[in-house]
Amino acid sequence: MSNFETLLYEEFLAEGLGFLRPSPQAEHDEVSHQLDAHSVHPFIPDWARKKLESLRHKDTFAHALRGARVERIHPGDVGSIHNASSWGEVDREKQKRVQAKVEYGDKLDMPIVLHHRASGEKYLLAGNSRLAYNSGVKKRPTPAVHIDV
């Protein structure tokens, strides 16, 4: 399969699982939120912090998101991703919001992951509640957009 065919296939699988590729406009604020929220107690790896700083510019973020590949995250791998939580750790209001969307048949935006190619480490940029729900409650792989660093 070509890269383009693989991309289409992964997007097709994601949609079948109830997920869509997130729009840059909807998720861009998460970049600043991550950097601001974790500035006091930094636990963002240096490689992720540098990438987040570069993604503060909306055009850079949009370009990175459009060029990112879709890859599934298996439930057993969630614990190895920086900034990812289990379903029990997710705020109750966020749990209710995700569950209501699923019950109404709404598609969810795929989580966004930064992937450090050299080390294999991953950092969850957006979609913690969606990832925790799909892996913790549904017990199935979650399609996620992976931005390589």
Q: Rounded CA gap, 12 and 30, in Å?
A: 25
Average pLDDT rounded to a whole number, residues 63-84: 91
Question: What is the per-residue DSSP string for the chain?
Answer: --HHHHHHHHHHHHHHTTEEPPPHHHHTHHHHHHHHHTSSS--S-HHHHHHHHHHTSHHHHHHHHHHPEEEEE-GGGGGGSBT---GGGS-HHHHHHHHHHHHTTPPEEPPEEEE-TTT--EEEEE-HHHHHIIIIIS-S-EEEEEEE-
Of residues 80 and 12, more confidently modeled: 80
Are 56 and 35 spatial neighbours (Cβ–Cβ below 8 Å)? yes
Banded model confidence at residue 148, pLDDT cuts 50, 70, 90: very high
pTM more than 0.85: no
Q: Which two tokens stand for residue 62?
A: 């949009």
List pLDDT tens digits, range 118-136. 999 999 999 888 898 888 8
Question: What are phi and psi for residue 82, nearest 5 degrees?
Answer: -60, 135
pLDDT at 19: 82
